[in-house]
A and B are shown apart, each in its own frame.
Chain A
Amino acid sequence: NAGVTQTPKFRILKIGQSMTLQCTQDMNHNYMYWYRQDPGMGLKLIYYSVGAGITDKGEVPNGYNVSRSTTEDFPLRLELAAPSQTSVYFCASSYPRTGGNVDEQFFGPGTRLTVL
């Protein structure tokens, strides 16, 4: 299993440009998440999905969009990139457990994005 994979690893954008961050998982997890990590701060949830066709906003969704057409893929779209979106982006996935067992999240390696 490759686990959670993300592309690209690095990207530099100009203000106003758009791009899509790709995320794929091969663990057949229902739940997928997008986080951003800024220096000195905890990870912040951008969007999440509990299954194909279902997405919802997290804590910091402004400036981003997502889609979930398959179980495996959960791309994150940045429209009109702004310097405030300079960050490291992590995708994660998990399989919801029952009976009080904890739902563990598995993270991808991250995409480092700089907007100039």
Chain B
Amino acid sequence: KNQVEQSPQSLIILEGKNCTLQCNYTVSPFSNLRWYKQDTGRGPVSLTIMTFSENTKSNGRYTATLDADTKQSSLHITASQLSDSASYICVVSRTSNDYKLSFGAGTTVTVRA
């Protein structure tokens, strides 16, 4: 059973609208949670990294939140653009130098004009 579950699996939104992606994890112990953006045919690129002591972090129009007590995270995309069309992957690690990361399956976001 995957230790990182993401929802929804996919979603379609109109350009300019906001959306929120969810990530629930059961990984323990917990050190940090990362959100990656993966464009079609490309490798994942880091958006945010949050440690257990942080509950929100922003990167431009992307805002990630973390509730380490309930083991939930969300990624909010504000004023979506066509270039936001991608897969968004939630990744959890046990230690700061943990090379054995747990990856979610991703949420595919399609932004339409």
Mark A residues whose CB is within 8 Å of B. 4, 31, 33, 40-45, 48, 50, 58-59, 90, 92, 94, 96-97, 100-110
Contact = CB atoms under 8 A, between A and B. Distances in A.
Interface residues of B, number: 26
Contact of B100 (A4, A59, A92, A108): A59
B56 interface: no
Given A59-B100, A97-B97, A104-B49, 8 more contacts: A42-B106, A100-B51, A102-B34, A105-B46, A105-B101, A106-B46, A107-B43, A107-B44
Contacts, number: 63
A46 to B, nearest CB: 12
Interface of B: 2, 4, 31-32, 34, 41-46, 49, 51, 89, 93, 96-106
Nearest to B45: A107
Contacts of B93: 102
A42 B104 contact: yes
The 5 A-B residue pairs whose C-beta atoms are closest, nearest first, are A42-B103, A107-B43, A43-B103, A103-B97, A107-B44
A50 B51 CA distance: 23
A100 B44 CA distance: 23
A102 B43 contact: no
Q: Is the interface of B mostly helix, strand, loop or mixed?
A: loop
Given A40-B105, A42-B106, A102 B4 contact: no
A102 B104 contact: no
A97 B31 CA distance: 14
B100 A58 contact: yes
26 contacts: A4-B43, A42-B4, A42-B106, A43-B101, A43-B103, A48-B99, A59-B100, A90-B44, A94-B99, A96-B97, A97-B96, A97-B97, A100-B96, A102-B31, A102-B49, A102-B96, A103-B99, A104-B46, A104-B49, A105-B46, A105-B101, A107-B44, A108-B43, A109-B42, A110-B41, A110-B42
